[in-house]
């Protein structure tokens, strides 16, 4: 679960990243920075207070983000998804929307994406296993898509399903989890402007191992909430049961908020290893997004609702 040796830096990675950074500063200089870093960015990023670390300087290498993965549909090893996820066919792709909403339906992915403006968001990403990354996503706010389906007043939760097709996802032939992978959010979490649907990272389309063509990103929650390769969105009144709750409800709760004060039953959550670094970092409450999202959990006992 944890990288044993320090990854080596090859020319390929350096080129990849220096090109990316050069392009970003070029765009900024040209005054077109608003396209990438403009007014639609969440308050926590735009108004990054003095003293808050600049996540841009902490970016995890593209190579690590795309080769050290969790995607059990392709095996449980960290390098399995990069090796095996090529069997997933991401085009054509459609998404079925139903439940408590006025505009359900089955939609071709292109039609869903057409009106959505993608932007870049650099987020910390913390896996429940104790490792973390900083990832420059391309995506759009989940809430802006969900609104189009007109959720009813009874929609208190939304859940998502990953594709189920053992031919394309051979890991589904083994019952390590109940398939398809399902995850859920409370409606206010889903509608929060930090919550993204990602279509790319580092300025490129998502690779299959990272959840192409569309995956959720909820930066203040443990990584497993960020469900990959989504084919279904369902609005409902009752709290859904997620794949990880089904697998082990004692270890994985519905909320799964990053919280250094609530240990996993088998290990501490106080520290994390940033992939590419040697010394461990302190894990931040709500993964560093408390200013933005702590208000969602006012009055909720986070030791019980882990
Ligand atoms: N469908 C599906 N989504 C998933 C997973 C999975 O196994 N299947 N793993 C989760 C876990 S545990 C993590 S940490 C993140 C990993 O995302 P990454 O590989 O892009 O870093 O994806 C999450 N989404
Ligand atoms: Mo994870």
Asked whether 162 lines ligand 1 (CB < 6 A), one says: yes
Per-residue pLDDT tens digits for 79-110? 999 999 999 999 999 999 999 999 999 999 99
* Domain annotation covers residue 5: no
User: What's the pLDDT at 19?
Assistant: 58
**Has this prediction a pTM greater than 0.85?**
yes
Query: Could you tell me the residue range of the domain that residue 251 belongs to?
Result: 11-297
Cβ atoms of 185 and 120 within 8 Å: the answer is no
* Domain annotation covers residue 146: yes
Q: How far is CA 108 from CA 112, 197, 230, in A?
A: 7, 16, 12
Per-residue pLDDT tens digits for 20-59? 665 555 444 443 433 444 344 443 444 445 566 789 999 9
User: What's the pLDDT at 41?
Assistant: 43
Tell how far the Cα of 127 is from the centroid of ligand 1, in angstroms. 9
Asked whether 60 lines ligand 1 (CB < 6 A), one says: no
User: What's the pLDDT at 53?
Assistant: 73
How many Cα atoms within 13 Å fall on the side-chain side of residue 165? 12
* Domain annotation covers residue 72: yes
* Domain annotation covers residue 3: no
User: What's the pLDDT at 304?
Assistant: 95
Question: How many CB atoms within 10 Å of residue 152?
Answer: 12
* Domain annotation covers residue 259: yes
* Domain annotation covers residue 2: no
Burial class (CB in 10 A: 0-12, 13-18, 19+), 244: buried
Q: Which residue has the higher pLDDT, 303 or 36?
A: 303
User: Atom of ligand 1 at shortest distance to CA of 177?
Assistant: 7
Q: Which ligand is located closest to the Cα atom of residue 69?
A: 1
Per-residue pLDDT tens digits for 268-302? 999 999 999 999 999 999 999 999 999 999 999 99
List the CATH number of the domain containing 79. Answer: 3.90.420.10
Cα-Cα-Cα-Cα dihedral of 286, 288, 292, 297, to 10°? 20
Pocket test for ligand 1, best of 170, 228, 244, 252 (most atoms within 8 A of CB): 228
Most confident range, picked from 11-15, 16-20, 164-168: 164-168
Pocket test for ligand 1, best of 226, 247, 251, 252 (most atoms within 8 A of CB): 226
* Domain annotation covers residue 137: yes
Q: Provide the number of structural domains found in the chain.
A: 1
Cβ atoms of 196 and 141 within 8 Å: the answer is yes
Phi, psi of 233 (to 5 degrees): -125, 130
Per-residue pLDDT tens digits for 189-243? 999 999 999 999 999 999 999 999 999 999 999 999 999 999 999 999 999 999 9
User: What's the pLDDT at 3?
Assistant: 44
Asked whether 66 lines ligand 1 (CB < 6 A), one says: no
* Domain annotation covers residue 6: no
């Amino acid at each position: 679960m944890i990288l044993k040796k320090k990854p080596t830096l090859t020319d390929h990675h350096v080129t990849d990243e220096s090109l990316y950074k050069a392009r970003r500063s070029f765009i900024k200089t040209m005054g077109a920075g608003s396209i990438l870093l403009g007014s639609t960015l969440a308050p926590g990023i735009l108004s990054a207070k003095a003293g808050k670390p600049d996540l841009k300087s902490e970016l995890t290498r593209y190579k690590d983000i795309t080769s050290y993965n969790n995607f059990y549909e392709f095996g449980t090893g960290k390098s399995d998804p990069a090796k095996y996820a090529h069997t997933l066919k991401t085009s054509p792709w459609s998404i079925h929307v139903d439940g408590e909403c006025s505009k359900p339906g089955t939609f071709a992915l292109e039609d869903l994406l057409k009106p959505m403006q993608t932007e870049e968001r650099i987020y910390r990403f913390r896996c429940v296993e104790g490792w973390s990354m900083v990832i420059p996503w391309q995506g759009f706010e989940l809430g802006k898509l969900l609104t189009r389906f007109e959720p009813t007043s009874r929609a208190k939760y939304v859940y998502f399903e990953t594709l189920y097709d053992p031919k394309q996802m051979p890991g589904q032939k083994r019952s390590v989890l109940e398939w398809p992978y399902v995850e859920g959010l409370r409606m206010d979490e889903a509608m929060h402007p930090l919550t993204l649907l990602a279509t790319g990272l580092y300025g490129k389309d998502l690779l299959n191992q990272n959840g192409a063509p569309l995956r959720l990103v909820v930066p203040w929650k443990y990584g497993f909430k960020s469900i990959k390769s989504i084919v279904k969105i369902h609005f409902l009144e009752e709290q859904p049961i997620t794949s990880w709750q089904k697998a082990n409800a004692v270890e994985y709760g519905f909320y799964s908020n990053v919280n250094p004060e609530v240990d996993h039953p088998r290990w501490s959550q106080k520290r994390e290893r940033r992939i590419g670094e040697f010394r461990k970092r302190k894990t931040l409450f709500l993964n560093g997004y408390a200013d933005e999202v702590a208000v969602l959990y006012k009055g909720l006992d986070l030791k019980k609702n882990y």
